[in-house]
Amino acid sequence: MAANTQTIIPHLWFDKEAKEAAGFYASVFPRSKVTHVSRLEGTPSGDTDIVGFELWGMRFMAISAGPLFKFNPSISFMVNFDPLLFGAGPAAAQEARRTLDAVWDKLSQGGKARIPLDKYPFSERYGWIEDRYGLSWQLILTNPQGDPRPPIMPTLMFTGANCGKAEAAMDFYLSVFRDGKRGVVHRYGPGMAPNREGTVMFADFMLGTQWLTAMDSAREHGFGFNEAVSLLVSCDNQAEIDAYWQQLSAVPEAEQCGWLKDRFGVSWQVVPSVMEEMMRNGSRDQLHRVMHAFLKMKKFDLAALRKAYA
């Protein structure tokens, strides 16, 4: 995989709102934009919009494909408002806080707070917000003296039967993706019931070029991972597709159109990088042929997709 590309791209599933939501998010976060919109006609979900966008330099994808999946907090997005991103000195810290508050206010419009925006032992300013579409964001004023992290990081919360598996999941993902590394690990201590001592309160890790975070939570949440938020792996060739598919897929019945589920229930898409170029530049007939080719596939066959496009 090319070293200068984002290796893992968060993918958001909407009923009909992908274009609207991408435009909204691009208006909320600094240095953000919608990069492309494509339409696939006559899919099993009807006419489907596929949207690419960037938030604070991080690539996202979104699709409007019907009311099959709903967002929940099992995957949220940690947003680091590090003063170092805004310059130096007291003015940078003030600007970081002002920007955090402005983003919170915009996400609050039609949304709801899961954890109020306030001062906590781990941060001068933190809050967890569920936006108008149900997607969860954790906004935090970061200590600039810590190791630098990107502005936005997908966050996996291991709940229910998955609780206590955050560390095993990190180790598994680090075994799958080359050039990965662990970051910080903070554990629950004694007297923090219902969470078990030693399990992961917060940790972060890097896969390729992408930082993610993980946490265990033993509270009764009533939700777990689903397809509403998946992680798309962009592959340069069939060998990469085959390798990631073999290592990640653990639920055969979930394999469809490049999608799979791993042993923890997290949804992934293993996709040839050329698909983005096809979606951006293909004619209506080319997109129609490619769509009918991949609808028959579980794991993507890159040669067959190229043939259909040509």
The β-bridge partners of 61 are: 11, 52
- CA angle 282-284-287, nearest 5°? 55
| Measured distance CA(81)–CA(152) in Å, rounded | 9
25-38 pLDDT, tens per residue? 999 999 999 999 99
* Strand 8-14 to 58-64 pairing: parallel
pLDDT for residue 7: 86
242-276 pLDDT, tens per residue? 999 999 999 999 999 999 999 999 999 999 999 98
69-105 pLDDT, tens per residue? 999 999 999 999 999 999 888 899 999 999 999 999 9
Residue pointed to by tokens 């007297």: 191
pLDDT for residue 178: 83
Q: Does the structure show a pLDDT above 70 at 2?
A: no
The mean pLDDT value of the chain amounts to 94
44 confidence band (pLDDT: 50, 70, 90):
confident
The secondary element (H helix, E strand) that includes residue 307 is: helix 302-309
Tell me how long the chain is.
310
Mean pLDDT lowest among 104-113, 166-175, 238-247, 272-281: 272-281
5 confidence band (pLDDT: 50, 70, 90):
confident
Fold of 75-216: 3.30.720
191-234 pLDDT, tens per residue? 999 999 999 999 999 999 899 999 999 999 999 999 999 999 99
- CA angle 46-11-250, nearest 5°? 95
Alpha-carbon distances, residue 31 vs 55, 85, 112 (angstroms)? 7, 12, 25
Which amino acid type is present at position 308? Answer: A
Q: Does the structure show a pLDDT above 80 at 117?
A: yes
Tokens representing 295? Answer: 């609808």
144 confidence band (pLDDT: 50, 70, 90):
confident
pLDDT for residue 299: 97
Domain ranges of the chain: 8-68+229-309, 75-216
Please provide the CATH number assigned to the domain covering 8-68+229-309: 3.10.180.10
Q: Does the structure show a pLDDT above 90 at 190?
A: yes
3-class SS of residue 3: coil
Residue 69's Cβ-count burial label (10 Å; 0-12, 13-18, 19+) is middle
Q: Does the structure show a pLDDT above 70 at 1?
A: no
* Strand 123-130 to 181-187 pairing: unpaired
Q: Does the structure show a pLDDT above 90 at 56?
A: yes
Tell me the angle at which helices 274-281 and 302-309 cross, rounded to the nearest 10 degrees: 20
Output the 3-class SS for 95-155: HHHHHHHHHHHHHHCCCEEEEEEEEECCEEEEEEEECCCCCEEEEEECCCCCCCCCCEEEE
295 confidence band (pLDDT: 50, 70, 90):
very high
Read off the pLDDT of each residue in 94-120 and give the average, rounded to a whole number.
97
Tokens representing 261? Answer: 């589920």
4 confidence band (pLDDT: 50, 70, 90):
very low
Which amino acid type is present at position 286? Answer: Q
